[in-house]
């Protein structure tokens, strides 16, 4: 049976023998383009309880079910975005972006999937949402300056800088395809300079990581507590811990599949009986790294309070019962960090900088480099955000010991 409501797409229920309802989310009901092979997904009482706990504004189980349906539908639509679209240029910025994203010879096709979803797609969506209706042939320099200011308002200079860079790429490809107006727009952009954002200097502190782990456990989100602890103690990238959803490749069968994507990431099998975590080589991780979790205090604190899954992915969302999509992890993490009174200026991504900075201060740059899995110390130095006072104090103490 079903109830058609716009606030909970894909919802369906089945009466139980005791008179209660079993709730489901059906991909094909949420989106007609959803592949028929996708199975309905149960909405468990635990998922509803976790959603209500995490979002104080949700006061009823019905509201929680609607929230879960919307979340899963958003994920499905993201998987299916641009699928089957034929490139058509009507002279607008939006159509130029569409061709850049879908043309088989576009440089966009050679980008790694994580780079697309974390860097390019957000900027391209921003461009389409804000100025997509503008005709390319009518654009002038003052348009680009105004857009840059608009996109960079409220201290979002990085967002503005990224959008301008992607706009250059869109018009460059449009020029090679002789799309009307793209050559002139790209030439105008080549004559313009935009302020480069300052390097990020914020780093997470140990007290922040500890507070987030404790709050996540209290809010019944052990997956976020474990991820945060692993990030802090090992300096691993978040994507290495929670994994990522990548396009399905030809002949790639089995595994955890959702839409046109398949999950790849750390599993429970990557942790040995002696608690040694082995992170395999990836596009970001140039060398396989190993970490003795028995020597990681924050991880041990978390493991005393939670249970690892018996098998499968190491980190699974309590809301969906599946590995996280990165953007949804970031949203859930922020809610917990705010509840833990971690400043809004500290982001989840700042964990790696904080961990590497602490390692460099406690040991030396070379040791921090090995822990981070970097091939050069120059890369490591980019993550070290210790001030001169920290460094000079360390040097002074070392010199004093030498005299003794």
What are the C-alpha distances in Å from 310 to residues 220, 271, 313, 314, 315? 18, 11, 9, 9, 11
Distance CA 66, CA 68 (A): 5
Distance CA 72, CA 215 (A): 25
- The pLDDT tens digits of the residues spanning 219-250 come to 999 999 999 999 999 999 999 999 988 887 76
- The pLDDT tens digits of the residues spanning 317-333 come to 998 889 998 888 998 99
Tokens of 137: 């042939």
Distance CA 27, CA 9 (A): 9
What backbone phi and psi angles, to 5 degrees, belong to 84? Answer: 80, 0
Judge if pTM exceeds 0.85.
Answer: no
- The pLDDT tens digits of the residues spanning 3-29 come to 667 788 999 998 888 888 899 999 999
pLDDT per position in the chain (404 positions), as tens? 556 677 889 999 988 888 888 999 999 999 888 887 788 899 988 888 888 877 777 778 898 999 999 988 988 887 776 555 566 899 999 999 999 999 999 999 999 887 888 889 999 999 999 999 999 999 999 999 999 999 999 888 999 999 999 999 999 999 999 999 999 999 999 999 998 888 888 899 999 999 999 999 999 999 999 999 999 999 999 999 999 888 877 666 678 887 778 898 999 999 999 999 998 765 554 567 899 999 999 999 999 999 888 899 999 999 888 999 888 899 899 999 999 999 999 999 999 999 999 998 888 888 888 888 888 888 888 888 777 787 788 778 878 888 87
Closest CA to 345 of 357, 334, 360, 356: 334
């Amino acid at each position: 049976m079903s109830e058609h409501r716009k606030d909970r797409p894909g919802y369906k229920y089945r009466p139980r023998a005791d008179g209660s309802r079993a709730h489901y989310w059906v991909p094909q009901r949420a989106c007609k383009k959803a592949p028929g092979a996708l199975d309905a997904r149960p909405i468990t009482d635990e998922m509803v309880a976790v959603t209500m706990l995490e979002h104080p504004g949700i006061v009823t189980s019905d509201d929680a079910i609607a929230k879960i349906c919307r979340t899963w539908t958003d994920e499905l639509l993201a998987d299916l975005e641009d699928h089957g679209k034929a490139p058509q240029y009507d002279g607008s910025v939006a159509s130029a972006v569409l061709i850049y994203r879908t043309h088989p010879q576009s440089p966009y096709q050679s980008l790694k999937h994580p780079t697309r979803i974390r860097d390019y797609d957000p900027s391209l969506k921003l461009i389409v949402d804000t100025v997509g209706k503008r005709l390319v042939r009518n654009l002038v320099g003052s348009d680009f300056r105004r857009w840059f200011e608009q996109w960079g308002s409220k201290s979002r200079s990085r967002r503005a800088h990224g959008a301008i860079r992607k706009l250059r790429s869109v018009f460059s490809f449009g020029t090679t395809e002789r799309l009307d107006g793209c050559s002139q727009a790209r030439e105008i952009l080549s004559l313009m300079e935009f302020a480069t954002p300052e390097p990020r200097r914020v780093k997470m502190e140990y007290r922040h990581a500890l507070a987030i782990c404790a709050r996540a456990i209290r809010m019944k989100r052990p997956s976020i507590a474990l991820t945060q602890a692993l990030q802090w103690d090992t300096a691993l990238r978040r994507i290495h811990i929670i994994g990522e959803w990548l396009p399905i490749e030809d002949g790639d069968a089995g595994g955890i599949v959702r839409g046109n994507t398949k999950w790849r990431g750390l599993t429970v099998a990557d942790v040995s009986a002696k608690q040694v975590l082995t992170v395999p080589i990836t596009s970001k991780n140039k060398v396989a790294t190993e970490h003795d979790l028995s020597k990681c205090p924050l991880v041990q604190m978390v493991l005393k309070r939670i249970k690892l899954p018996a098998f499968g992915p190491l980190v699974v969302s309590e809301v969906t019962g599946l590995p996280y999509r990165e953007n949804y992890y970031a949203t859930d993490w922020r809610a917990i960090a705010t509840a833990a009174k971690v400043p809004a200026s500290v982001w989840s991504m700042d964990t790696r900088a904080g961990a590497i900075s602490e390692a460099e201060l406690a040991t030396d740059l070379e040791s921090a480099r090995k822990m981070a899995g970097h091939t050069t110390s120059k890369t490591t130095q980019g993550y070290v955000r210790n001030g001169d006072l920290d460094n000079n104090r360390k040097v002074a103490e070392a010199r004093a010991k030498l005299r003794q």
